Amino acid sequence: MTFLLAGIFLFIGIHSTRIFASDWRNRLITRVGLQKWKLLYSVIALAGLVLLIYGFGQTRANPVFVWEPPLWSRHMAALLTLLSFILFAAAEIPGNHIKSKLGHPMYQGIKLWAFAHLMANGRLGDILLFGVFLMWAIIGYSAARRRDRREGLTYPAPSGQKTVIAIVAGIAAWVVFAFWLHRLLIGVAPL
């Protein structure tokens, strides 16, 4: 559990600097430069991700079961993760209706992804990992929307074509991940 906790701390911690330490982040960028900040950010995030993956693997090898999820929760999780992949794609494709409406669809996608995995898994490691991601996404979305309002941020007029591209890209990515990559990377076939 130590490696999982360390990975979560580093990965979520560095991804939370804009939420909890925006002034410190801005001062550091001013002092060391944007490129050095991005390098530092990337190294810490990557180290956290490696520890998180290794630690999560350890919790799966020695599981502590908290509850037994019902079979239907796996099917619901598949549907929710499909929606989360559409939100992930919408976050990266500018000018779509989803991003225009939600502002920060990546956070919304992470919330759905984490909730789906909490619902379909009952091991302590799962609850810890996905619970932290869910809380982080809730807090991050709220902070990002407040920042948008404070800065008067507006999004470009949405296009139906870009919305369709985001939806199709999200579905395609989900199909590849659900039917191939999840088993390859995680060791579990969700479908």
- Same-domain pairing of 20 and 72: no
- Same-domain pairing of 119 and 51: no
pLDDT at 190: 84
> How does the average pLDDT of the chain come out, rounded?
95
**Rounded-to-integer distance, Cα 147 and Cα 186, Å:** 35
- Token pair, residue 10, equals 């580093």
Domain count, the chain: 2
Domain ranges, residue 175: 65-191
pTM of the predicted model over 0.95: no
Task: Return the sign of the alpha-carbon dihedral for residues 137, 93, 165, 171.
Answer: negative
Interval 62-119: pLDDT, tens: 999 999 999 999 999 999 999 999 999 999 999 999 999 999 999 999 999 999 999 9
**Rounded-to-integer distance, Cα 159 and Cα 6, Å:** 42
- Same-domain pairing of 80 and 55: no
- Same-domain pairing of 34 and 54: yes
- Same-domain pairing of 88 and 159: yes
